[in-house]
Amino acid sequence: MKAFTIAGINLRRFVRDRSNVFWVLVFPILLILVLGAAFGGSSDPRLGVYEAGDGELSGGLVLLLEEQSGMQVVGFESRDDLVATVERGEVEAGLIIPADYDAGLQAGRSVVVELAIRSAEDAQGIRGNVQSALTQQSGVLRAAAFVQAEGAGTFADGLDVAAATGENIPDVTVTVSSVGEQIGYFQLGRFDASAQAELLLFMFLTSLTASAALIQTRRLGVARRMVATPTPVRTILIGEGLGRFVIALLQGVFIMVGTLVLFNVDWGDPIGASAILIVFALVGSGAAMLMGSLFSNDQQAGGLGVLFGLGLAALGGCMIPLIIFEYFAPTLFNIAHITPHAWGLEAFDALVIEKGTVVDTLPFLGILLGYAAVFYLLAIWRLRKVLTS
């Protein structure tokens, strides 16, 4: 009960400092947005389309493009605007349909459409989709030309017949199967990977910087005064830790829900994700309590908290994905698992990539709980020594 009292007073003091709200809640979301937009690569590429004419065939091509999977189509009013937008990277490619598209095709001439692509990474998929749409339209056009050539009607009549007939022709479906091990990380959405990494990074970082608050409580003499009350040292430390735990947990929940709503981030099984959040908040608060009992200068602890928070996050795969370590630096991959971050990310992989449940995260959660227990026990031992000798 007294632990809740101590936690409550910590939360009250935390909320009174308005800047905390920005750093704990707003800043992480902004960073996820920025990182996701800059480095996320697996969402559908966007194709900008400019129709110089307003013909039926030109419009039909746009409709066929829109039906292609794995690509978004965005309309543009001018060629220059489209090209500039491609250059700025706001769309991955731009298709320019010439003004004589309809006339040329109806006259049986070859027509050239321009496709401007910004990077080779997106070229293959977009080009394939454009080619597919053109091939579909080309089949209908040939059928219409055949109708006209055989004297069975005009080109327009031929188009109608071909379109109506095409609806009744059964599809040929291509079944695709994967061969070899899939690299799951690259299947994640634009924000998924960065959101998971940022979640762990910020929960831990926020907790560590909060170690300064414990040092401040010590320096104010309040911690010592608490020891003079009928309150065991372990209760004092658990209370202090509980306040940080709740803050880290609130931050985690906020990032999770915020990114789910705003960016449709996949967090996997909600129970499993919640379990990771709770256990990682325990780890973070335990680490904060240990730091808060080891150092006696809050500014020093704040600075080192940022250093450790970012350093461990980088080492643990929150900045460079663990999969990169695994393939290109196996030793570093093993070293990364000294950090709780790596185990947290592994737990999220079990949920999001492997589509597992909370049961699949249990081995990782067990290791994380071990971290939390060690941090708290060391912190209690150290705080008792600091306050009573």
Partner 1 sequence: MDSRASVLECRDLKKSYGDNAAVKGVGFHIAEGETYGLLGPNGAGKTTTISMVTGLLERDSGEVFVNGLPLTTTSIDAKREIGLVPQDLAIYPDLTARENLIFFGKLYEMSGSDLKKRVDEVLEIIGLTDRAGDRTEEYSGGMKRRLNIGLGLLHQPRLLLLDEPTVGVDPQSRNAILESVEQLSGEGMAVLYTTHYMEEAERLCDRVGIIDLGEIKAEGTRRELVQLVGQHDRIRLQATGPCAAGVEALASLAAVREAGVRDGGIEMLVDNADRWLAEILGKVSGAGVGISSVDVEEPNLESVFLHLTGRALRD
By beta-carbon proximity to partner 1, the closer residue of 134 and 227 is: 227
Q: What is the C-alpha to C-alpha distance for residues 370 and 364, in angstroms, rounded to an integer?
A: 10
Cα torsion at 258, 38, 31, 271 (round to 10°)?
40
**Which of 19, 110, 177, 389 contacts partner 1 by CB under 8 A?**
389
Asked whether position 20 contacts partner 1 by CB under 8 A, the answer is: no
- Print the binding letters for residues 212-231 with partner 1: x by CB under 8 A, - otherwise: --------xxx-xxxxxxxx
**Residues near 55 by Cβ (< 8 Å), separated by ≥ 6?**
101, 102, 103
Among the candidate windows 2-10, 62-70, 193-201, 363-371, which touches partner 1 by CB under 8 A? 2-10
Asked whether position 382 contacts partner 1 by CB under 8 A, the answer is: no
Asked whether position 84 contacts partner 1 by CB under 8 A, the answer is: no
Cβ at position 362, least distance to partner 1 in Å? 36
Asked whether position 109 contacts partner 1 by CB under 8 A, the answer is: no
β-pair partners for 93? 47, 117
Q: What is the C-alpha to C-alpha distance for residues 281 and 302, in angstroms, rounded to an integer?
A: 18
Cβ at position 5, least distance to partner 1 in Å? 4
Backbone φ and ψ for 114, nearest 5 degrees, come out as -100, 135
Structure tokens that stand for 71 in this block: 């690509």
- H-helix or E-strand spanning residue 94: strand 93-97
Asked whether position 356 contacts partner 1 by CB under 8 A, the answer is: no
DSSP 169: S
By beta-carbon proximity to partner 1, the closer residue of 79 and 384 is: 384
Cβ at position 305, least distance to partner 1 in Å? 20
Q: What is the C-alpha to C-alpha distance for residues 216 and 213, in angstroms, rounded to an integer?
A: 5
Backbone φ and ψ for 296, nearest 5 degrees, come out as -120, 5
Among the candidate windows 144-152, 172-180, 367-375, 381-389, which touches partner 1 by CB under 8 A? 381-389
Positions touching partner 1 (CB under 8 A) are: 2, 5-6, 9, 12-13, 16-17, 220-222, 224-233, 384, 387-389
